[in-house]
């Protein structure tokens, strides 16, 4: 691993956290049994650490994209099932509230993972470059003067997974990137999709809350 390389374990931890939230959903809101997504995720994302350590970049990226795609499919299907069942009033309001909350938190972690995986060519290319000066998002550190960055010890700054979690959290709560402007079209599309999913789940939470009260 290169000296400036960011650790991969936060992204893996986020993926497994999503699987845990998915498993907590009622079975009628999951695509197949709740444990299936965890099995698929382990099978696809587990080997990525091995590939990364052995320098097998291509296999690392293929398995990472496949794992994130599987998680995305699972969450989108659960959201669709939740929206479909809402007008039927067959599920207890508290159960729907908990399910919508789980999907909302999963939405943040999922899109943070996509941003981390895609920005600037992905973590492998960002590690190769060292200092992050070009990407889909304009982080504040990217526009700081060199002297100031050196003074702050940020001359080799590159965004880590937490930076993308912060970006995704702002998108799901404020429906905007706040202090990180978006520069590319693909990033704008992803952020619109994330905001739409967040807005849908928040609307479900509000609707259920009104019914409970």
**pLDDT at position 210, please?**
58
Q: Is 38 inside any structural domain?
A: yes
Alpha helices for 54-184 (secondary structure H): 57-85, 93-118, 123-129, 146-151, 161-173
Domain span at residue 148?
A: 9-212
Q: Is 73 inside any structural domain?
A: yes
* Count of domains forming the chain: 1
DSSP state, 134? -
**pLDDT at position 152, please?**
73
pLDDT per residue as tens digits for the range 72-124: 999 999 999 888 887 777 778 778 888 888 999 999 999 999 999 999 888 98
- The contacts of residue 190 (CB under 8 Å, 6+ apart) are 111, 114, 115, 118
**pLDDT at position 128, please?**
83
**pLDDT at position 212, please?**
53
Q: Is 159 inside any structural domain?
A: yes
**pLDDT at position 65, please?**
96
Q: Is 4 inside any structural domain?
A: no
Chain centroid to Cα 142, Å, comes to 22
**pLDDT at position 211, please?**
60
pLDDT per residue as tens digits for the range 149-194: 777 777 778 889 999 999 999 998 887 777 888 999 999 999 999 9
Integer Cα distance of 20 and 198 in angstroms: 19
Q: Is 13 helix (H, G, I), strand (E, B) or coil?
A: helix
Average pLDDT over residues 193-205: 85
Which of 56, 46, 82, 121 is closest to 201 using CA atoms?
A: 82
Per-state percent for the chain, helix, strand, coil, to nearest 5: 75, 0, 25
Q: Which of 38-42, 88-92, 153-157, 199-203 has the highest mean pLDDT?
A: 38-42
**pLDDT at position 142, please?**
83
Q: Is 40 inside any structural domain?
A: yes
Is the distance from CB of 83 to CB of 49 less than 8 angstroms?
Answer: no
Q: Is 136 inside any structural domain?
A: yes
Q: Is 69 inside any structural domain?
A: yes
Portion of the chain with pLDDT greater than 90, in percent: 47
Mean pLDDT of all residues belonging to the chain: 86
Chain centroid to Cα 41, Å, comes to 14
DSSP state, 140? G
**pLDDT at position 208, please?**
64
- Residue 47 pLDDT > 80: yes
Q: Is 197 inside any structural domain?
A: yes
Is the distance from CB of 168 to CB of 137 less than 8 angstroms?
Answer: no
């Amino acid at each position: 691993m290169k000296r400036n390389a960011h650790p991969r374990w936060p992204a893996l931890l986020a993926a497994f956290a999503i699987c845990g939230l998915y498993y907590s959903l009622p079975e009628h809101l999951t695509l197949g049994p709740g444990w299936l997504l965890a099995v698929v995720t382990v099978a696809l994302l587990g080997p990525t650490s091995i590939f990364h350590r052995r320098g097998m970049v291509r296999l690392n990226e293929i398995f990472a994209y496949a794992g994130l795609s599987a998680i995305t499919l699972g969450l989108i299907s659960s959201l669709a099932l939740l929206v479909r069942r809402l007008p039927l009033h067959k599920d207890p309001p508290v159960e729907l509230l908990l399910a919508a909350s789980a999907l909302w938190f999963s939405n943040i972690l999922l899109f943070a993972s996509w941003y981390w995986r895609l920005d600037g060519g992905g973590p492998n290319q960002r590690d190769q470059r060292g200092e992050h000066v070009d990407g889909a998002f304009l982080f504040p550190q990217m526009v700081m003067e060199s002297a100031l960055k050196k003074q702050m010890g940020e001359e080799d700054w590159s965004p880590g997974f937490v930076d993308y979690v912060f970006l995704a959290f702002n998108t799901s709560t404020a429906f905007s990137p706040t202090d990180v402007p978006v520069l590319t079209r693909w990033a704008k599309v992803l952020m619109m999709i994330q905001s739409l999913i967040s807005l849908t789940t928040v609307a479900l939470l509000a609707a259920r809350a009104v019914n409970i009260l």
